Amino acid sequence: MRAVRLLGLDDTRELRVLAISAPAGARQLLAEAFPGQVIRAATIGRVGALLCQATGDTKTLSDHLNDVTVREFPASPYSAQGPWIGIGASVAVIDAPTSWSQAQRALRFASSTGFGRRVIAYERLSLLEVLADIPSERVQEIDDVVRIGQIASTAAGAAEVDTLEALCQYGTLRRTATELHLHHSTVAARIGHVEQVMGWDLDDPIDRFLATFALMLRRISLSTTELAGG
């Protein structure tokens, strides 16, 4: 409690701990997202830890921070990747370690590949949170994850996987084409090739779910490896 007071935070208010993949730009990004808020940051290993007492519910906060991050670092092979962020629950000051642990788990789900959500709140993961307990080595052995990785191992294949991730995020070919600044026929061709290789039909709800799930597991694996310095 004394440490919190020395940091200039209010020890009578709840706080959140955030985990961020790129500590160097964390303070500026958070200052833009939450102007006027007191933010304290430190680097722990390869991850930035941020304390803030921003008001608002979890959904509003995570959506707003995601929008700011995407605006500052748009998904593009020609721009900086930008950070990805995990948000812990709002807790009493004495429970800050719990929020920090949650933020680190949520960070593994945030998109380190550019498409998908850059900011994930632990409380919004719900039952997906159990996926964080799957060892990274086991994820890397899953057949669909392996094949997606093989497709992404070439420049053309990486563009196809990026397009698939964007489709899973935006929902339709036309919106995906608009967001990626591509002709819809280009998007369709890329998706069609992935479907052929993976044996999926993305018009089928089950196959669309499998694609989304495989991409999520791949992001968890990539994020875990990158955060570990591998």
The residues spanned by each domain of the chain are 2-133, 136-227
Using alpha carbons, list the distances in angstroms from residue 228 to 17, 21, 225.
Answer: 20, 11, 5
Model pLDDT, residue 200: 96
Asked whether the beta carbons of 14 and 51 are under 8 A apart, the reply is: no
Scored b (16 or more CB within 10 A) or e, 108-143 reads bbbbbbbbbbbbbbbbbbeeebebbeeebeebbebe
Model pLDDT, residue 228: 74
Model pLDDT, residue 80: 64
The C-alpha atoms of residue 162 and residue 175 are separated, in whole angstroms, by 14
> Is domain 2-133 annotated with CATH 2.30.110?
no
CA dihedral 207, 66, 84, 20 (to 10 degrees): -140
Asked whether the beta carbons of 187 and 177 are under 8 A apart, the reply is: yes
pTM over 0.85? The answer is: no
Model pLDDT, residue 84: 87
Per-residue confidence of the chain (230 residues) as pLDDT tens digits?
A: 888 888 888 889 999 999 998 766 667 777 788 887 778 888 888 888 989 887 778 899 899 888 888 888 877 655 667 788 999 999 999 999 999 999 999 998 887 666 778 899 999 998 888 888 888 788 889 999 999 999 999 999 999 998 998 898 888 999 999 988 899 999 999 999 999 999 999 999 999 999 999 998 888 888 877 777 65
Indicate the CATH number of 136-227 among 1.10.357.10, 2.40.50.100, 1.10.10.2840, 3.40.50.2300: 1.10.10.2840
pLDDT (tens digit, 9 = 90+) per residue, 159-192? 999 899 889 888 899 999 998 889 999 999 999 9
